[in-house]
Amino acid sequence: MDDDDHGRGNVGSPTDDGQQRGLDRRQMLKTTAGSAAGLSIAGCLETAGSIVGDDEVEPVTIGVLAPDPGSDSTGRSIVQGAQIAVNELNDDGGILGRDVEMVVGDTNSSPLEARRQYQRLVLEEGADVTVGISTTEALVPLMEDIAEQETIHLTAGSATTTASQNVADDYEKYKYHFRVGPVNGTNLAQAQIDFLTDKSDDLGWDSVAVLAEDYAWTDGLWAFYQSQFPETDIDVEMWERYPPATDDFSDIYTEIEESGADAAFISTAHTGTAALQDWRPEEREFEFGGIHVPMQDPAYYDATEGACEYATGYASATATAQITSKTQGFAKKYQNENGGTSPVYTGYIAFDAIKVFADAAERGETLESEQLVTPLEETSFEGTTGNIEFHGQNDEHPHDVIYGEDKVHPVYFQWQENDAGEGEQTVIWPEQHAAEGDEYETPDWL
C-alpha cells in the first residue's frame, strides 16, 4: 500500500460533490462494462487501461475496510492480504480485462468510523465492491449502509450471525452481504464441539470450565455451548460469562481449580492477553484452550514473552497448515512481501474474498452488484481457507460461507516451543492438516 492509499484513507464525511462523482463513476463503470463485454467478443478490446473508442477503460475498484491497519494485526493483515490478491489479479489480466485498484478505509475500530469510511469508499471512491470489517460491533450497524448502497460487501473477520439473519429476514434488502470468513458464530461453536469430541481423549480433557467474555459476538456461542455440551461425554464443571474488560482472572481461575476441571475452555477476543497472563506464568492447575483471537497472531508468542506456551487455539488458517493447495503459497508470498511476518486469519480471508469476487465477476461477465448476487451464490472456489461455497437464500444462514470437512474448516493449533526456543503454532486438529509427528503437549508443570 503506497502513501496515496493512506491519503485516501483520511477521515471525512461524503460531500454532495463527492457523492455525485462516485455515483457518476459507478454509472460509467456499469455502462462501459457492458460495452467492454461486447467489444471483447468482437476482438476489439485491448488490455486494461487501454482506450475503447474515445473513453479510457476505468479500473475495477476494491474498497478495503480495516481497523487501524498501521498498528492492529487483524487490520494490517486485511490490507496486506487484499493487496496480494490485487497484485496477482493485475499480473493475470485484471478483472474482465480491467486493471484492479485498491482503496483503503481505516475504520479506527469504531462503528461510526466504519460507516463513514464505507460511505467514502462507495460514494467518493466509486468502489465496485467492499471487503473487510473484522468486528461484529462494526458490521452490524454497517448492514444498513450496505443495503442502502446496494453494493456487494464481502466480510472478512466478523462471525456474528446477525448479518445472515438480516439476509434471511429481508433477502431483497440485505442480499448484497456475503461472509467469506470466518465461519459464523453458530458454526464456530460447532467447530469447538467437534474439536473436543474428537480430541478430548488425546488431550485428557474429561471435564472443562466454559468461559466467555460478555460481548455481543459471544451471544450465539454461549447459547450453542449450553445446548450442545450436555450432548457430549465431556463434563462441564463451571459456566462463567465474565464481564467485559476483565483484566484480573485470579478469582475465576481459583474457582476453576476448586471445581476440578481439566481445562478452561474460553471464548475471548478483547480480554485474551490478560486471560493468558494469569494462566501460564502462574502455572495454574488446569489446561487452557478455545477461541482466542489474539493468539491467532503468529507474532503472539514473542509479544507475550511465551505466556501462550501450551495454550491451544482456533484459526481459519495458519502458515503451518496445508489446508488447500493455495494456503502455503499465499503464506510464503505474504512473508516475502512483509518482512518475514505471517498473516493472521483476516489476511487469508481478505485474499480469498477478492479472488471470490473476481471469480464471480468473470463467470457473470459483470461488475453490477445486482447481477453479481447469483454468481456469488453459485460460487465453488478453492481458497486458502478451504473450498468456499455460500449458503443459499433459503438456508438457515444465507450468504455465509459453508462449514464442513470438504468446505471451509478451521484448524486447532497449540503454541509450542521448538528446539531453537521459538514459538510455533503447531496444528493438532484435524489430523489431515497437521504435520507428521505433531501432537498436543501437556503443560510441563501438570
Sequence ranges of the domains in the chain: 3-183+327-388, 186-315+410-433
List all residues 6 or more positions away from 115 whose beta carbon is below 8 Å from its beta carbon. Answer: 141, 142, 145
Tell me 175's DSSP state.
Answer: T
CB 79 within 8 A of CB 1: yes
CB 115 within 8 A of CB 145: yes
Residue 434 has a pLDDT of 85
Q: What is the CATH number of domain 186-315+410-433?
A: 3.40.50.2300
Beta carbons within 10 angstroms of residue 249's beta carbon: 24
**Separation of first and last alpha carbons in the chain:** 47
Phi, psi of 3 (to 5 degrees): -60, -30
- Burial of 418 from C-beta contacts in 10 A (0-12 / 13-18 / 19+): exposed
- Residue 373 CA to residue 175 CA, distance in Å, equals 7
- Per-residue pLDDT 10s for the chain (446 aa) are 433 333 333 333 444 444 444 555 444 444 333 333 333 323 322 333 333 334 578 999 999 999 999 888 899 999 999 999 999 999 999 999 999 999 999 999 899 999 999 999 999 999 999 999 988 889 999 999 999 999 999 999 998 899 999 999 999 999 999 999 999 989 999 999 999 999 999 999 999 999 999 988 888 889 999 999 999 999 999 999 999 989 999 999 999 999 999 999 999 999 999 999 999 999 999 999 999 999 999 999 999 999 999 999 999 999 888 899 999 999 999 999 999 999 999 999 999 999 999 999 999 999 999 999 999 999 999 999 999 999 999 999 999 999 998 999 999 999 999 888 899 999 999 988 888 889 999 999 99
Residue 165 has a pLDDT of 96
Q: Which residue has the cell 457492458?
A: 34
- Residue 149 CA to residue 164 CA, distance in Å, equals 18
Identity at 139, one-letter amino acid code: L
Secondary structure in 3-state letters for 250-274:
HHHHHHHHHHCCCEEEEEECCCHHH
Same fold, 3-183+327-388 and 186-315+410-433: yes
Q: What is the CATH number of domain 3-183+327-388?
A: 3.40.50.2300
Residue 185 has a pLDDT of 87
Tell whether pTM > 0.85: no
- Residue 33 CA to residue 30 CA, distance in Å, equals 5
Q: Which residue has the cell 487484499?
A: 82
Residue 24 has a pLDDT of 53
* The pairing of beta strand 129-132 with beta strand 100-106: unpaired
Residue 64 has a pLDDT of 98
Identity at 103, one-letter amino acid code: V
Residue 13 has a pLDDT of 40
